Structure 1
Amino acid sequence: MNPISTCKSRFLVPLFVFLISVAPLSGETTEIGNNVQLLRYYQNPENIVLKTSDGFIRIQTIAAKSLEISYASDSNFIKPSDALIAKPIVNAIIIRNTTESLDVRMGDMYFSIKKAPFEIHITTGSNNEQAIITGPFSINETTGVNFRLDLRDKIIGGGARAIEMNRRGKRLSLNNEANWGYEWGAEILNYSLPIFYSSKKFMVFFDAPQKALADIGFTNRNRFRIESEVKAFNLYLMTGPDYKALLKEYTTLTGTQPLPPLWAFGNLQGKYGYLSQIHASNVVDSIIKDKFPLDAILLDLYWYGKGIGDFRMGNLSWEQSNWPKPTDMINNF
């Protein structure tokens, strides 16, 4: 036997094993270190402002069990979006300043601010567990917030997606995008929501109208990060004893939609789609003739275009050749 080939065969498997052992595993890339430090703080009647080595943070109560946490790289905090109807609450602010931390009480909310490395520990509604916010806030070209993930933490939310209810291990885009003919595994389905529940009984609302990203233990299994390319954001953190209480707290911030009209709960007839006024009228007449209840008919897209090759998406004018008298049709319905 060739001694060189023997040597090669002896080291082939060990070398292969060695290469596997040092290869990085998906979802376990190195965490960017938290070198952020609290430099000083300012106590105001309605809030506290924290100056850190990575920007400014303002904390104030927005509801009985909710905090508004605002970040700005240059202390120019942005206004809340139109989604918010609640106004900040002025509560007595009690701060105990120690060498290592600031212990803060704002109304019914309790949290502790670790000075170095900078962290915010917020008491939640689940057996005195904590939501822990860590630095850094600015990473490369993005700005966001990090939550520490423990081994058993579950994260739910983010809007419509054909994936597991527990979003942990996912990297989800927070934007609205159509997805036709989707199947299981589709990570975005038309509408997303920048809202997440934690099994530790707190809820997060990332109030940023621009496109954002939620990295839920994907890049690092121990970190949940929501980020965007804008250098300032508002975050709302709600606590409560259960998910029902969290949802109630959230609607205190954003309000509730009006009750839909009674017909909206009825029988709505729809298909893809009704090609003309004659087609739609015949369908309505046949349903009524057969004594089926009918409260509305959904015309879909042919009322403003002719279909494939001529959809005219976004046009809000009737396609006159196929729908010559739409007002008469509606009155007859």
Structure 2
Amino acid sequence: MLNRLSSLTLAAILVLAATATHSEQLVSHETSTAELTLATDEGFYVLTLLHDNAIRVDFNPSSIAPPPSRAISPKLSTAHARLNEENQQLVFGSESIQAVITPSPFSIKFLRDGETQLTEVLNLHSESNASSASFSLTNNEVLMGGGSRVLGVNRRGHRLPLYNRAHYGFETHSEQMYYSLPLVLSDKHYAILWDNPSSGWLDLDSKANNQLNFNSEHGSASFVIITGGSLQSLVRNYVKTTGYQPLPPRWSLGLYASRFGYHSEHEARKVVSAFAEHDFPLDAIVLDLYWFGKEMKGTMGNLEWDTDNWPTPEAMIADFQQAGVNTVLITEPFILTSSAQWDNAVAANALAIDESGAPKTFDFYFGNTGLVDVFSTAGQNWFAQVYKRLAGYGVTGWWGDLGEPEVHPADSFHLSDGGLVPANAVHNAYGHQWAQLLDETLRDAQPNQRPFIMMRAGYAGSQRFGLIPWTGDVNRTWGGLQSQIELSLQAGLQGLAYMHSDIGGFAGGDVFDPELYVRWFQYGVFQPVLRPHAQENIASEPVFHDSATQALTRPYAKLRYRLLPYLYTLSYLNSTLGDPMMRPMSFISHDPNDLLSTSQYLYGDAFLVHPITADQQRSADIKLPSGSHWYDFWSSEVFSGGQTIKYEAPITKLPLLVRGGSFITMTREDIANTSAYRGDELDVHFYFDPEVVSSSAQVFEDDGLDPNSISNQSFELIHLTASHDGLALQGEISSQGKGYAGMPEQRNLRIVIHGINEAPAELTINGASALAAFDDQAKTLSFSLAHSLHTETQWELKL
């Protein structure tokens, strides 16, 4: 029922309304399970509790019905909100987040846990199909987000365009890039998502008046506020709001062969053979635009094999698959008027249109073109049939390029949600809608495997369609490398855990710089995706460089594969919790300055990585957080936390440390690619730390392909724990799950405990004495045990 305010409150409204300066007044409110509808003298506000840590707010001057959201996950369960009236205010929300509504003058502010004020809505406006919002900020509040930008961690003070646009050849500064997001995260552990994909502006207090502003050229005035008790929990709650990334195929974590581009089947076969000949692992080859045409210009949109240069693509792909190498194809949404598909696309009404209703054509670098309307049913159906046809060749990975879209005339129109909308109204959602279309198409066409979808542009929540983004056409320079950590760390905080760079750099460069390549490759092993890619004037693949470069990069490529159990578990944790793989130091540090650092980062819970990003740099100053000791991964030298160390870093060595108390599970032997992965012989490294009383970790194992392995529990999730009391170190290994096809009946685990200074008095496994090997030089103790699904094993060392 409609609840009228008390007569006292109404009287106050009438008095205030009679004053010379009008201020907005609350007239009535109505509640349901998860919603609070507020009627004011200026319009309607609908507040929706999405879950215990997120509230959405929609404003419309004339309608109560909230607009649909592209960002919010449709899988959220209905929340149960509570509404209280306190001190003539309405308090709506949950125990964790509350919206406090003052009737006169009307205002909305947000609290966490009923105490800490996060922000206040200063303005929420919608008129003539444009919209805007303003929020209060506190002094010195650090603001992150806004999508991909190279500005430093704290973006406060900038006014930034909300318009996805390519930035070719970027280095150490970029205010507008491929993947903008209307999302701001605060170091006060709340986030504001402006839920509008239109072109617009994000103003992060550029006028120094403690205001955050969003402006959109089209669309509704809608936002979501999210909170958390820490930065990590805030990220988790944001990902819960916008959707979890599906688990990618295991092979996506391996090494790729990729360049712009391979011109023929003969060349592609030679590339795959070269990796084997030079003893490099390989899991995928990426085919750029020459698969559908001999020339760079004039052929985009053919979307069919150029059989002159690719005479037997199906056999080629089958041969690659037999060798454990997946084939990834590029596609673009531009259909050139000179392409083989132009007439077909026009007849199918698959293209964006102009004001007259004819296909909108325009010129760009590759030729005169139209653009697939991924928002319309006709465009979706046409594009889906293209992908289903190509999937029939055995393609297992998909690269959607130029999806900002790179050129998107403002006078073109799309058919979206049953009506025509101008390009700018949906521009930032184009890649998002394309990813959704491709994800749904592949799940229908290839139901027994996980889609792999790599795109460089999207919107809030695109991760739930499996989108794996990269940072774009970075310059092949040290400045290009220096920007990459910031880009991936910021993306991880915004739900895009697989943001990665073209290893070695993509654009420019006339002479190969072996040191730059080696240092970028070392970093690449500890970014989410290991994909060298570049313009073809300088080879991107390590196998086509000199023997010295190969000798420096080969061990790191093999290390990547040895770390597969650890890496794949990070993917599982991202898909179930939302945790990024690359994490800022502030996830574990209590020093606020660590939030601003982009020189080093955490890779999961265990690794601290400090890439070398300057020419001839041979050492690094590494800040070690307190609370644990830190091990040099290469030498097992131990450092106390809470200090800055000078770490020697010859060209062979990436500065890499392990947090005391961590588990790192690795394969025991090198493998040629993930098709050879079995998980039956694993080394479990435990880095003992007297300062860390108890530790735990997980190891996720499944078949690497089943798209339903998590939902069906077709996996084994191994739990590792360790604790000590100063006299003994105890550990336990257990597991859960239903198992999976091909799972080893028994896993042979070698437990390697680092930081043991002398041989222990006794080792017992399940209460029985057992043998162990003590290495006095490495200060490690090793012992073996067998593990099976649903078994528990306890071990104990007398210290």
Counterpart in 1 of 2:747?
Answer: none
Of 172-181 and 257-266, more deviation after overlay is shown by 172-181
The answer as to 2:125 corresponding to 1:137 is yes
Counterpart in 2 of 1:288?
Answer: 276
Mapping 1:244-323, distance limit 5 Å = 244-310=232-298, 312-323=299-310
- Structure 2 counterpart of 1:37, from 10, 21, 24: 24
The residue type equivalent to 2:294 in the other structure is K
Counterpart in 2 of 1:193?
Answer: 181
Counterpart in 1 of 2:464?
Answer: none
Residues 213/226 of structure 1: CA separation in 2 closer, same or farther (3 Å cut) = same
Distance in 1 separating the partners of 2:142 and 2:114: 13
The Cα of 1:300 is off from its aligned counterpart by 1.8
Distance in 2 separating the partners of 1:307 and 1:126: 63
Mapping 1:4-43, distance limit 5 Å = 36-43=23-30
Counterpart in 2 of 1:92?
Answer: 82
Distance in 1 separating the partners of 2:142 and 2:105: 25
**Secondary structure, aligned partner of 1:81:** coil
The Cα of 1:207 is off from its aligned counterpart by 2.0
Is the Cα–Cα contact under 8 Å of residues 93 and 106 in structure 1 kept in the other structure?
yes
- Structure 2 counterpart of 1:174, from 133, 137, 162: 162
The Cα of 1:42 is off from its aligned counterpart by 1.0
Is the Cα–Cα contact under 8 Å of residues 267 and 295 in structure 1 kept in the other structure?
yes
**Secondary structure, aligned partner of 2:291:** coil
**Secondary structure, aligned partner of 2:101:** strand
The Cα of 1:146 is off from its aligned counterpart by 1.0
**Secondary structure, aligned partner of 2:159:** strand
**Secondary structure, aligned partner of 2:289:** coil
The Cα of 1:182 is off from its aligned counterpart by 1.7
Residues 235/35 of structure 1: CA separation in 2 closer, same or farther (3 Å cut) = farther
The answer as to 2:233 corresponding to 1:237 is no
The residue type equivalent to 1:214 in the other structure is L
Distance in 2 separating the partners of 1:41 and 1:226: 27
Distance in 2 separating the partners of 1:306 and 1:116: 68
Is the Cα–Cα contact under 8 Å of residues 66 and 237 in structure 1 kept in the other structure?
yes
The Cα of 1:125 is off from its aligned counterpart by 6.4
Is the Cα–Cα contact under 8 Å of residues 202 and 239 in structure 1 kept in the other structure?
yes
Distance in 2 separating the partners of 1:192 and 1:151: 25
The residue type equivalent to 1:81 in the other structure is R
The Cα of 1:297 is off from its aligned counterpart by 0.9
Residues 130/321 of structure 1: CA separation in 2 closer, same or farther (3 Å cut) = same
Report the TM-score when normalising by structure 1: 0.80
Distance in 1 separating the partners of 2:185 and 2:221: 19
Distance in 2 separating the partners of 1:219 and 1:74: 32
Distance in 2 separating the partners of 1:232 and 1:264: 38
Of 86-95 and 258-267, more deviation after overlay is shown by 86-95
Structure 1 or 2: larger helix share? 2
Counterpart in 1 of 2:56?
Answer: 68
**Secondary structure, aligned partner of 1:71:** strand
The residue type equivalent to 2:68 in the other structure is K
Distance in 1 separating the partners of 2:206 and 2:128: 17
The Cα of 1:116 is off from its aligned counterpart by 4.5
The Cα of 1:263 is off from its aligned counterpart by 0.8
The Cα of 1:93 is off from its aligned counterpart by 1.5
Is the Cα–Cα contact under 8 Å of residues 170 and 216 in structure 1 kept in the other structure?
yes
Percent identity over paired residues: 29
Aligned residues: 296
The residue type equivalent to 1:84 in the other structure is S
- Structure 2 counterpart of 1:218, from 197, 206, 209: 206
- Structure 2 counterpart of 1:80, from 55, 69, 79: 69
The Cα of 1:262 is off from its aligned counterpart by 1.1
Residues 97/139 of structure 1: CA separation in 2 closer, same or farther (3 Å cut) = farther
The Cα of 1:296 is off from its aligned counterpart by 0.7
Is the Cα–Cα contact under 8 Å of residues 124 and 221 in structure 2 kept in the other structure?
no
**Secondary structure, aligned partner of 1:302:** helix
Residues 41/94 of structure 1: CA separation in 2 closer, same or farther (3 Å cut) = same
The Cα of 1:239 is off from its aligned counterpart by 1.1
The residue type equivalent to 1:80 in the other structure is S
The Cα of 1:272 is off from its aligned counterpart by 1.8
Distance in 1 separating the partners of 2:199 and 2:262: 35
Residues 255/225 of structure 1: CA separation in 2 closer, same or farther (3 Å cut) = same
**Secondary structure, aligned partner of 1:332:** helix
Deviations 1:180-217 (A, max 9, x none): 11232211221122222112211112222333321111
Is the Cα–Cα contact under 8 Å of residues 137 and 212 in structure 2 kept in the other structure?
yes
Of 216-225 and 188-197, more deviation after overlay is shown by 216-225
Distance in 2 separating the partners of 1:272 and 1:140: 45
Distance in 2 separating the partners of 1:136 and 1:326: 55
Distance in 2 separating the partners of 1:327 and 1:290: 26
Is the Cα–Cα contact under 8 Å of residues 267 and 296 in structure 1 kept in the other structure?
yes
* Long gaps (5+) in structure 2: 1-20, 321-799
Is the Cα–Cα contact under 8 Å of residues 60 and 126 in structure 2 kept in the other structure?
no
Is the Cα–Cα contact under 8 Å of residues 57 and 71 in structure 1 kept in the other structure?
yes
**Secondary structure, aligned partner of 1:221:** coil
Residues 187/83 of structure 1: CA separation in 2 closer, same or farther (3 Å cut) = same
The Cα of 1:256 is off from its aligned counterpart by 0.9
The answer as to 2:185 corresponding to 1:205 is no
The residue type equivalent to 2:202 in the other structure is A
Distance in 2 separating the partners of 1:125 and 1:202: 12
Is the Cα–Cα contact under 8 Å of residues 196 and 219 in structure 2 kept in the other structure?
no
Distance in 1 separating the partners of 2:155 and 2:191: 14
Structure with bigger RCO (C-alpha 8 Å, 6+ apart): 1
Is the Cα–Cα contact under 8 Å of residues 55 and 74 in structure 1 kept in the other structure?
yes
* Long gaps (5+) in structure 1: 1-33
**Secondary structure, aligned partner of 2:232:** helix
**Secondary structure, aligned partner of 1:285:** helix
Distance in 1 separating the partners of 2:154 and 2:244: 26
Is the Cα–Cα contact under 8 Å of residues 212 and 227 in structure 1 kept in the other structure?
yes
The residue type equivalent to 2:193 in the other structure is F
**Secondary structure, aligned partner of 1:288:** helix
Counterpart in 2 of 1:183?
Answer: 171
Counterpart in 2 of 1:59?
Answer: 47
The Cα of 1:152 is off from its aligned counterpart by 0.8
Report the TM-score when normalising by structure 2: 0.35
Deviations 1:86-136 (A, max 9, x none): 2442323112362xxx24143313232234543311113697132111125
Is the Cα–Cα contact under 8 Å of residues 133 and 148 in structure 1 kept in the other structure?
yes
Deviations 1:223-280 (A, max 9, x none): 1112213352432111111111111112222221111111111111112211211111
Residues 299/324 of structure 1: CA separation in 2 closer, same or farther (3 Å cut) = same
Distance in 1 separating the partners of 2:168 and 2:22: 44
Counterpart in 1 of 2:108?
Answer: 120
